[in-house]
A and B are shown apart, each in its own frame.
Chain A
Amino acid sequence: MNDAQLRIKSFLSRFFKQHDLQPDEDIFALGFVNSLLAMQLVNFVEKEFAVSIEDEDLDLANFRTLAAIDALVERKRAGRGAAG
């Protein structure tokens, strides 16, 4: 798990207290993500990694796993926006 994934995991661990989240684990399948957490996750990613999440980035695939969120951040930092 890289540093970015660890930071995202640390944030999500506040909500998944009893669970050791793995990089490719589907966070939606765990049943913890409601609209409040979904919104906080977007805000966290924006603030933590200084990127802007736009409407075009709204794709569950971008937020499904730690690895996917990390990849989204990398793409945003590279200025490439949403997944092709």
Chain B
Amino acid sequence: MSADALAGLRLELSPQQREVRRRCRAFVAEHVAPHAARWDREARLPDQAIAELRQRGYLGAHLPRELGGGGLDAVAYGLLTEEIGRGCSSLRSLLTVHDMVSEAVRRWGSPLLKTEVLPRLAQAELLGALAVSEPGVGSDAASVETAAERDGDAYVLSGRKRWITFGMTADVFLVLARCGGELAAFLVPAAAPGLTREPITGVVGTRAARLAELTFERCRVAADRLVGRVGFGFSHVAATALDHGRYSVAWGAVGIAQACLDACLGYTATRRQFGKPLAGHQLVQRQLTEMIVNTRAARLLCLYAGHRRSLGAPDAATETLIAKYFASRTASRAASDAVQLHGANGLSQDYPVERYLRDAKVTEIIEGSTQILQVAIASYPPGEFDPIDGA
């Protein structure tokens, strides 16, 4: 076999990627997983947990080192996200939304924003959150009604944003608004006069993710906080953020599926019914096998998307759609099966699988619902074994 053929498709992780995963796994085992159920019950991720992510450089880990970020390649970043997601989806959501904002600023921010704001996002001195959804606007994000009017050296924002993950803790929001007939994205400080936020409670999943509703009442934002140009707020700026978010959620969903598998392998090995462990029953084995194989397949799709992203390949966004679609559905199915395998115990808060079920459902709705992705993937199918750049 030629060297070219061997180099064609590498699925082994590099030593650096393995090390990122090992360190993060240890961190999650000690500092995240033992507390995730309590954070979920209290519907509040403590500031200390955020501080620990910041100290370890896990926020902004995908940004280049020269910008103050962690310098992780896309695959290493994905592995990190899986490990966090395996321990706590609410904490993983913080990575997702913060890095959606930092990535959009890295890609489309003006030189001023890249100098002034991006290094602070990279160090997580500032926490970012994405503000696109509104009371009347979900999947159809290009129809946002929040208005931005130019007024001298500023824009004046009016409207409401809803379901803003970590909206209660963010220092800066990337806000999608309608400016005349066109869409524009703005970096709005949480302390901006005219911006207020109210907590949203009682949600089904990722309950500790400090959701907020934001109200903009003639909120004045300096014109130099515009990200990209007016007219490109959705097609390029929000799209970049959402693409990053889909990649993050995909890996987070793999983490949930793996957590379900871990829980089920442990439970079915020890729980005995009809005179033998559950794992000895063939119908249980069938469910375990589905979980094992689908979790593996989801991870491989994420690895492939990560590989394409590392290359800067044009089709990386499509591969990310596919990975997110499959991984989020896999997480939902794995979590549903995990509850089923745990029986009545699975319905109780004494076991983590009921939380996994609630958190998995969220991954099928955010950053492109399962149905929106079905439309997108079918409309722009990838060239099978013929990637866009011919690589």
List residues 30-70 of chain A with CB under 8 A from any CB of chain B. 34-44, 46-48, 55-56, 58-60
Interface-facing stretch out of B13-21, B34-42, B55-63, B312-320: B312-320
Instruction: Find B312's partner among A38, A41, A46 (CB 8 Å cutoff).
Output: A46
Cross-chain contact B388 with A55 (CB below 8 angstroms): no
Provide the B39-56 mask, 1 if CB < 8 A to any CB of A, else 0: 000000000000000000
Instruction: Identify the interface centre among B234, B239, B240: most chain A CB within 10 Å of its CB.
Output: B239
User: A14 with B228: in contact, given A43-B316, A55-B108 (CB under 8 Å)?
Assistant: no
Query: How far apart are the CA atoms of A34 and B232 in the complex, in Å?
Result: 12
Chain B residues lying within 8 Å of A60, measured Cβ to Cβ, are 231
Q: A14 and B383 in contact (CB under 8 A), knowing A36-B318, A55-B110, A59-B229?
A: yes
CA A41 to CA B314, docked complex, whole Å: 7
Secondary structure class of chain A's binding surface, majority of residues: helix
- Mask, B359-377, CB within 8 Å of A = 1, is 0000000000000000010
Q: Which of A36, A46, A48, A56 contacts B239 (CB 8 A)?
A: A36
B389 touches which one: A39, A41, A42, A48 (CB < 8 A)?
A48
Number of A positions contacting B (CB below 8 A): 22
Alpha-carbon gap, A15 to B376, bound state (A): 12
Which of A38, A41, A43 neighbours the largest number of chain B CB atoms within 10 Å of its CB? Answer: A43
- Measured between beta carbons, the chain A residues less than 8 angstroms from B142 are 35
Most buried by B among A44, A46, A55: A55
Name the interface residues of B299-334: CB closer than 8 Å to any CB of A.
Answer: 312-318, 321
Instruction: Answer whether A58 and B389 are a contact pair too, CB < 8 Å, given A11-B314, A43-B312, A46-B312.
Output: no
Cβ contact within 8 Å between B239 and A38: yes
Q: Are A39 and B376 in contact (CB under 8 A)?
A: no
CB distance from A14 to the nearest CB of B (A): 6
- Known contacts A58-B229, A58-B236; A40 and B388 CB within 8 A of each other: yes
If A15-B380, A44-B388, A58-B108 touch, whether A39 touches B240 (CB-CB below 8 Å) is yes
A58 with B228: in contact, given A36-B376, A43-B314 (CB under 8 Å)? yes
Cα separation A34 to B238 with both chains bound (whole Å): 13
Q: How far is the CB of B241 from chain A (nearest CB, A)?
A: 11
A12 to chain B, nearest CB (A): 11
The residues of A that contact B312 with a CB separation of less than 8 Å are 43, 46-47
- Asked whether A40 lies within 8 Å of B314 as measured between CB atoms, the reply is yes
- Distance in angstroms between the alpha carbons of A17 and B235 in the assembled complex: 22
> B147-183, CB under 8 A of A: which get 1 and which 0?
0000000000000000000000000000000000000
B229 touching A40, Cβ below 8 Å: no
| A42 and B317 contact, CB distance less than 8 A | no
- The answer to whether A38 and B236 have CB atoms under 8 Å apart is yes
Q: Does B74 contact A (CB under 8 A)?
A: no
Is B227's beta carbon under 8 Å from chain A?
yes
Query: Cβ of B380: which chain A residues have Cβ within 8 Å of it?
Result: 15, 36-37
For residue A82, give the distance in angstroms from its CB to the closest CB of chain B. Answer: 10
Q: Does B99 make an interface contact (CB < 8 A)?
A: no
Quick check: is B243 within 8 A (CB to CB) of the other chain? yes
Query: B238 contacts which chain A residues (CB < 8 A)?
Result: 35
Q: Known interface pairs A15-B380, A55-B229, A58-B228. Does A40 touch B235 (Cβ–Cβ under 8 Å)?
A: no
Query: With the chains together, A37 CA to B240 CA distance in Å?
Result: 12
| 27 interchain pairs, CB-CB under 8 A | A35-B142, A35-B234, A35-B239, A36-B239, A36-B318, A36-B321, A38-B236, A38-B239, A39-B236, A39-B240, A39-B243, A40-B315, A41-B314, A43-B312, A43-B314, A43-B316, A44-B388, A46-B312, A47-B313, A55-B109, A55-B110, A55-B228, A58-B108, A58-B228, A58-B229, A58-B236, A59-B229
Given contacts A41-B314, A43-B317, 15 further A-B pairs with CB under 8 A are A11-B314, A14-B388, A35-B142, A36-B318, A38-B236, A39-B239, A39-B243, A39-B317, A40-B388, A42-B236, A44-B314, A46-B312, A47-B314, A47-B389, A58-B231
